[in-house]
Chains A and B, each alone.
Chain A
Amino acid sequence: MEVTIYPIKRAARRYPAAFWGSVGFLAVLLTLALLAAYLTPYPADASGQMHFEQKLLPPSLRHLFGTDSIGRDIFTLVIYGARLSLISAFGVVGVALLLGVPLGLIAGYKGGFTENVIMRVCDAFLAFPPLLLPIIFTAALGPSLKNAIIAVAVSWFPWYVRILRAQVLAVKQAPYITASRAMGISSLRILYNHVLPNSFAPVLVQATLDMGYAILTVAGLSFIGFGARPPAIEWGLMITSSRATFLDFWWTAFFPGLALFLTVFAFNLSGEGLRNILNTGDVL
């Protein structure tokens, strides 16, 4: 497969609204999350302050998204919740890449027995239903956001191993790999300089797409009590705690859910855009 990287300008013209819109949304979300203390109206609410006198107020100018059952401003909580969601997105994908990329490179480049061992271990991981393995891991490690991230990452890394290995198998046949070997360049350097850059594009696309699913999965784990625990502020957790109220006070579940939806959607769109820009459509 040949990877063509379009200059940014041309990419912007070819994939205008969706890609740049979603990247923009994520950038704004990241800024809000980082500067939550300055950009939210009631930062104290995020550190556990309660106002029972103003509980379950509907959305208004004072409280853009309304307030929850203990009177906290939901807008503030949603912005603070973005922190944990983004941490889980980057955490899960980061840890999974850290495990998957070296293993995929080695499996594809070395071949033979090494490859068989790595790939069979991956197959074993992939034999479990997607949410079951993280549940088993968090049950073993103890429920916390950190453990949820590790659990999801550990049950996902085999996907990266598989994608990268398939790419490496194709790239290592390239004449410039042989040429580098004929010039006496060491295997490690060849892997790092030639094999990895030429096989990474599909992994990058998959990783971006996976960020959305990572947020969903971690939120799902939090929802069923295996992820973040109160008083942490996390979107999945917010939806859980609104179970008792959302039938009468829709905003308590709607806004965390909307934030979750939009973020996952934006990650997906930017993954799609990246796929087009990096021309990896034939692989993924």
Chain B
Amino acid sequence: MVEVKGVTKIYNGKTVVDNVSLTIPKGKITSFIGPNGAGKSTLVSMMSRLLSKDQGEIHIDGMEIGEYKSHDLAKKLSILKQTNHLNIRLSVRDLVSFGRFPYSQGRLTKEDQDAIEQSLAYMELESMQHQYLDQLSGGQRQRAFIAMVLAQDTEYIMLDEPLNNLDMKHSLQIMRVLQRMVDELGKTIVLVIHDINFASCYSDYIVALKDGKVVNQGMKTNIINENVLKEVYDMDIHIETIRGNRIGIYYT
């Protein structure tokens, strides 16, 4: 369980995340939604210790993240940011192998190799494992990065806009695989996502943020409704239930 207690982040006098408290339940998909600048990415970065927090505490399985040893935390929690530009040329397999670093410290054992094979297979990347990342399409590259996170074999996985720049087909592919990871492997996934309909169809819990504050949080059925979304986005979003999913219609 991840517990966020009164976390605040201030950049140059501007409060980006303002006294946020929330709980991420285990074995579920939790989505962070909200307009640009709401502090979603900042919050996720603090929860995964990429950013320091100015106030508050973040507990993972009962322990403050600052008290974890770096390599211990890396076996418990992984984070994938939205931009994944690399300056070096890596093959898919090399990238996925990096996911084993917390365990191997660079010397891959048989066990590490098995984990790499498994995550490549899980993400259906075996056939392109020897291709270089710069030869892949955006969707394939994103899958390769998720395979790396999967090889890291952490209970908690945080993804900052994993669908950024992906087309519908690849977005769907990623969301389905995330759901499988929760159902089959028991992972706990935290997503920052802009498409409220993907959030509605795939997450269990939704946290709605605005101006650095939590506007509302809870089961997705309580969040995907016209009043809450109006408050979050300042626009009218018509909700309809289509094949059991609550879908927001806001295109016209």
A, B in one complex: no
**Interface positions of B (Cβ within 8 A of A):** none
**Interface positions of A (Cβ within 8 A of B):** none
